[in-house]
């Protein structure tokens, strides 16, 4: 057996350099990945101990996980929180009665609209201005308009305060549950407290009553509400199926792939929710496969990948340019099976749109019927309400932000 001295020196040199580079890279990843986390906790630790966070500060804390550290996981945690509400018969029956699940195009639009509205009040300042700006800076009305639009749309239906409160609670607590199960890190006590503060403020702006005064009381209420009201119903099953079809629209039926992924999806549900939706038990392997895959992804992200440098959101983060006489049209950064609000491509972009249809990412290319010109926040919602409620929405938005909405964001004849 040859001794080490028989190997050429350059092999030692290359190996040493490779190991040194790998070690330095891992140290850089470790340092940078926690830098923003450490900064936000240093900034707000005293206020957290004093339980004195404002909703605006809580929003900044939440944006750490939602826009930098775990945006995809956070997005899906809210999507599954909304999905979980379909296990409550009063909620699922109302959704069926609205007729917004009558076709794939309508399901896709409802999904797109819901994402846009929630993402708008998550990414845009809830108070109209970021925390660190001069008092005279321009007011960003997008979050207030989105909340006002949701309030106006909800006013068209008879929804109990308890169902509102249950949905609000899931939004407040499910992201922490998902981060603990599948994320590269868990949410800290500061982040969990900030989530309760932020969503409680959203609830107040939505006129939801009887919001518990502490996170512990709220979680206890959620559990009790589920135990009493989450029961099997055909409407639960039907709404869940429509939504699952949209979530898995890219997965073909070929070779049983759709059935396979439906099993993986069911493995993410708690037994009570699955039973209420009248769904069969997930295959035995599904939970282990999901946990193993997401565990590998979380390890890779935590130890091997550099952190995100720019914030991510489904909606534009920076305040858009406005033109006199016309509320701006906006485009999301993510699209559903039907490409709602996706701009029509030209040249290479047009070819890319065709390619995405070919591989199954979308069912169609951007067209006027999918609002390829973009959306206006005050028009978002079911097609039959698209041109209704604009003045009322702007009035409610002004009340929410405490000052009039800038004329450039208001609807008028040129905006129709």
Pairwise CA distance, residues 261 & 256, whole Å: 9
Same domain, 204 and 61: yes
Share of the chain above pLDDT 90, in %: 62
What is the band of 347 on the pLDDT scale with cuts at 50, 70, 90? Answer: confident
In a domain, 362, yes or no: yes
Which residue, 115, 108, 51, is CA-closest to 79?
115
pLDDT in tens, 2-35: 554 554 555 457 778 888 888 889 999 998 999 9
Is the pLDDT at 362 greater than 70, yes or no?
yes
What is the band of 236 on the pLDDT scale with cuts at 50, 70, 90? Answer: very high
Same domain, 180 and 248: yes
The residues, ordered by sequence, that sit 6+ positions from 390 with a Cβ below 8 Å of its Cβ are 378, 379, 411
Instruction: Say which residue, 137 or 146, is predicted with more confidence.
Output: 146
For 353, the domain range is 331-374
Is the pLDDT at 290 greater than 60, yes or no?
yes
Contact by Cβ (8 Å): 207, 150: no
| pLDDT number for residue 286 | 92
Average pLDDT value for residue range 129-134 = 66
pLDDT in tens, 53-69: 999 999 999 999 999 99
What radius of gyration do the chain's Cα atoms show?
24
Residue 137: phi, psi to the nearest 5?
Answer: -70, 160
Residue 323: phi, psi to the nearest 5?
Answer: -115, 145
Average pLDDT value for residue range 116-132 = 85
Average pLDDT value for residue range 143-149 = 95
Is the pLDDT at 345 greater than 70, yes or no?
yes
Same domain, 217 and 267: yes
**Of 46-55, 97-106, 278-287, 348-357, which gets the smallest average pLDDT?**
97-106
Pairwise CA distance, residues 365 & 337, whole Å: 10
Cβ-based neighbour number of residue 17 at 10 Å = 10
Averaged confidence pLDDT in the chain? 88
Angle at which helices 215-229 and 161-182 pack, to 10 degrees? 110
Average pLDDT value for residue range 167-192 = 96
Same domain, 176 and 239: yes
* Per-residue CA distances from 211 to 203, 218, 220, 398 (Å): 8, 7, 12, 24
Same domain, 51 and 165: yes
Identify the DSSP state of 66. Answer: I
Angle at which helices 189-205 and 142-154 pack, to 10 degrees? 60
In a domain, 56, yes or no: yes
In a domain, 148, yes or no: no
In a domain, 253, yes or no: yes
What is the band of 131 on the pLDDT scale with cuts at 50, 70, 90? Answer: low
Identify the DSSP state of 68. Answer: I
Same domain, 164 and 285: yes
Distance of CA 10 to the CA centre of its chain: 51
Is the pLDDT at 414 greater than 80, yes or no?
no
Average pLDDT value for residue range 369-385 = 91
Same domain, 341 and 296: no
| pLDDT number for residue 416 | 43
| pLDDT number for residue 135 | 62
Pairwise CA distance, residues 90 & 111, whole Å: 19
Instruction: Say which residue, 254 or 197, is predicted with more confidence.
Output: 197
Contact by Cβ (8 Å): 198, 55: yes
Instruction: Say which residue, 211 or 14, is predicted with more confidence.
Output: 211
Total domains in the chain come to 2
Pairwise CA distance, residues 166 & 240, whole Å: 17
Is the pLDDT at 102 greater than 70, yes or no?
no
Same domain, 192 and 336: no
| pLDDT number for residue 412 | 66
In a domain, 309, yes or no: no
In a domain, 218, yes or no: yes
Pairwise CA distance, residues 394 & 96, whole Å: 29
The residues, ordered by sequence, that sit 6+ positions from 414 with a Cβ below 8 Å of its Cβ are 325, 326
Cβ-based neighbour number of residue 57 at 10 Å = 19
Same domain, 262 and 346: no
Average pLDDT value for residue range 199-214 = 96
Instruction: Say which residue, 9 or 118, is predicted with more confidence.
Output: 118
Same domain, 269 and 350: no
pTM value is 0.90
| pLDDT number for residue 5 | 54
Instruction: Say which residue, 37 or 247, is predicted with more confidence.
Output: 37
Average pLDDT value for residue range 151-171 = 95
Same domain, 239 and 287: yes
Same domain, 336 and 227: no
Is the pLDDT at 294 greater than 70, yes or no?
yes
Query: What 3-state DSSP class applies to 55?
Result: helix
Is the pLDDT at 134 greater than 80, yes or no?
no
Ramachandran quadrant class, 25 (left: phi over 0; alpha: psi -120 to 50; beta: rest): alpha
| pLDDT number for residue 415 | 44
């Amino acid at each position: 057996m040859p001794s080490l001295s028989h190997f050429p020196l350059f092999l030692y040199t290359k190996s040493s350099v490779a190991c040194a580079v790998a070690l330095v890279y891992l140290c850089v990843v470790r340092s940078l990945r926690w830098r923003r986390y450490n900064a936000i906790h240093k900034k707000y630790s005293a206020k957290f101990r004093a339980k004195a966070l404002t909703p605006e500060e809580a929003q900044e804390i939440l944006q750490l996980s939602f826009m930098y550290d775990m945006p995809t996981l956070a997005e899906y945690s809210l999507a599954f929180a909304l999905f979980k509400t379909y296990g409550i018969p009063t909620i699922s029956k109302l959704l069926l009665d609205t007729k917004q699940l009558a076709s794939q195009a309508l399901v896709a639009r409802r999904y797109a609209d819901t994402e846009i509205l929630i993402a708008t009040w998550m990414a845009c300042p809830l108070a109209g201005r970021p925390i660190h700006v001069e008092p005279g800076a321009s007011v960003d009305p997008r979050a207030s308009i989105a909340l006002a639009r949701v309030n106006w749309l909800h006013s068209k239906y008879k929804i109990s305060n308890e169902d509102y409160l249950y949905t609000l609670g899931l939004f407040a607590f499910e992201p922490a549950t998902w981060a603990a199960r599948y994320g590269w890190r868990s949410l800290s006590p500061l982040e969990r407290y900030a989530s309760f503060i932020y969503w409680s403020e959203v609830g107040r702006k939505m006129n939801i009553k009887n919001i518990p005064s502490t996170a512990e009381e709220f979680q206890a209420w959620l559990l009790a509400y589920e135990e009493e009201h989450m029961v099997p119903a055909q409407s639960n099953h039907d709404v869940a199926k429509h939504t699952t079809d949209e979530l898995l629209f890219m997965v073909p039926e070929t070779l049983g792939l759709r059935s396979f992924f439906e099993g993986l999806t069911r493995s993410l549900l708690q037994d009570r929710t699955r039973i209420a939706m009248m769904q069969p038990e997930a295959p035995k392997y599904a939970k282990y496969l999901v946990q193993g895959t997401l565990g590998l992804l979380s390890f890779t992200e935590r130890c091997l990948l550099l952190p995100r440098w720019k914030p991510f959101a489904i909606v534009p983060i920076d305040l858009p340019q406005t033109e006199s006489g016309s509320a701006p049209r906006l485009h999301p950064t993510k699209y559903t099976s039907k490409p709602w609000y996706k701009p029509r491509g030209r040249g290479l972009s047009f070819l890319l749109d065709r390619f995405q249809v070919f591989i199954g990412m979308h069912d169609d290319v951007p067209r006027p019927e999918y609002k390829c010109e973009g959306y206006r926040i005050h028009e978002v919602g079911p097609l039959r309400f698209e041109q209704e409620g604009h003045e009322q929405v702007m009035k409610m938005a002004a009340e929410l932000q405490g000052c009039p909405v800038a004329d450039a964001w208001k609807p008028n004849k040129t905006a129709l």
